[in-house]
Homo-oligomer: A and B are copies of this chain.
């Protein structure tokens, strides 16, 4: 069984963290064919588009895609792939690891973010006489799908509670519907507890009681904001992976961007990209390889000897990769 993996390193540190991650994947007992695709700012300069059709096709034809980072054109690349490929579920784990700048211990929850609608539909904005208007689109179909995904995720991962996040006191129709669907779907999962919070309150609770969360389900932009807040809580974006999953395919990417300030200097922390690759392994059903890779990263973090600058160390990107390989 040889997996076809679409690899899109993209811009800036995307290239470096991808190289580091692939070097570890190559040591695992799983066979991959890598098909490289281009996307992002550089691609835009050279080819006049940040996301050539060819790249989309590579993603479509793959078993899974690894994505590094894109620069200024990130929205045009990643939002478009998510929507074209109907990758409706964006999974963003928030987990505290040892030897990081995490503000808390024992934080471990999953943000399940709706990935196709909300305020993210590009042609739903228009200029008006006195400014502009954006439409926040909420459909029963998409929200039911993501909420069901969140409950199923909880069930499959021995989690006992799902928290819905919305602003139904102000957005009475859109988020009123979201909240209603949440409790409807929840009834299909009697063993899983349900609760719902306003998004503003949640932004506070994440800082005051992050250990209380298990699985959070929310609309697109709220998920974007809360997952970056979660990243800050557990020590920054160098450690946050994500998965974009749909019926037609899946893409795995670190939550961080292309970081032009440190690009090309071997300073980037490859762990977010590696954790994304681990999510990919689990998606492919390669749980043994995933466990092994995961344990190696935990070992490197626990030892605290080979860390990049963002974690207070001075190791290079490839030195971290080497340490992880040694720990396998």
Contacts and interface: CB of A to CB of B under 8 A. Distances in A.
A235 to B, nearest CB: 8
Given A134-B173, A199-B225, A200-B225, 20 more contacts: A74-B169, A119-B136, A119-B171, A125-B174, A128-B139, A130-B140, A131-B138, A131-B141, A132-B174, A167-B221, A170-B221, A203-B229, A204-B232, A204-B236, A206-B232, A207-B207, A207-B232, A208-B236, A225-B225, A229-B229
A134 B222 CA distance: 15
A135 B136 contact: yes
Contact residues of A: prevailing secondary structure:
helix
A61 interface: no
B132 A177 contact: yes
Contact of A206 (B224, B226, B229): B229
A143 interface: yes
Given A171-B125, A172-B125, A177-B131, A207 B229 contact: yes
A130 B134 contact: no
A256 to B, nearest CB: 10
A201 interface: yes
Q: How many A residues touch the partner, as a band?
A: 35 or more
Interface in A72-102: 72, 74-75, 79, 101
A75 to B, nearest CB: 4
Contacts of A279: none
